[in-house]
Structure 1
Amino acid sequence: MSAQTEDIAINTANGGVLAATVFYPPGEVRAAVMLAPATGMLRRFYRPFAEYLAAAGYAVITFDNQGLGGSLHGAVKDSQASLVSWGQNDMPAVLDELQQLFPGVSHHLIGHSAGGQLIGLMPNAGGLKSVFNVACSSGSVRNMAMPFRAKAAFFMRVFMPLSNAVFGCARNQWLGMGETLPRGVAREWSEWCNGSGYVKMALGKTVHTHLYDTLAMPSLWLHAPDDDIATEKNVKEMMAVFSAMPSERLLLQPADYGLRHIGHMKFFSRQSQQLWALAVEWLGKHA
Structure 2
Amino acid sequence: MLLRQMLEIYDLLDTPQANGDAVASLLRERGADDVTLHTISTDRGSTDCIKIIIPGRTGKTVGGGSPTLGIVGRLGGIGARPGLIGQVSDGDGALAALTVALKLAEMHRNGDVLDGDVIIGTHVCPDAPTIPHEPVPFMDSPIDMATMNEQEVDERMDAVLSIDTTKGNRIINVNGFAISPTVLKGAILPVSNDVLDIMTRTTGHMPQVFALSQQDITPYGNDLYHLNSILQPATATPAPVIGVAITVEQVVAGCATGATHGMDVEETARFAVEVAKSFTAGHCSFYDEDEYQRLISLYGGFERFQTPGNAD
Q: TM-score, normalised by structure 1?
A: 0.39
Structure number with greater CO (CA < 8 Å, separation at least 6) is 2
Q: What TM-score results when the alignment is normalised by the length of structure 2?
A: 0.37
> Relative to total residues, which structure has the larger helix share, 1 or 2?
1
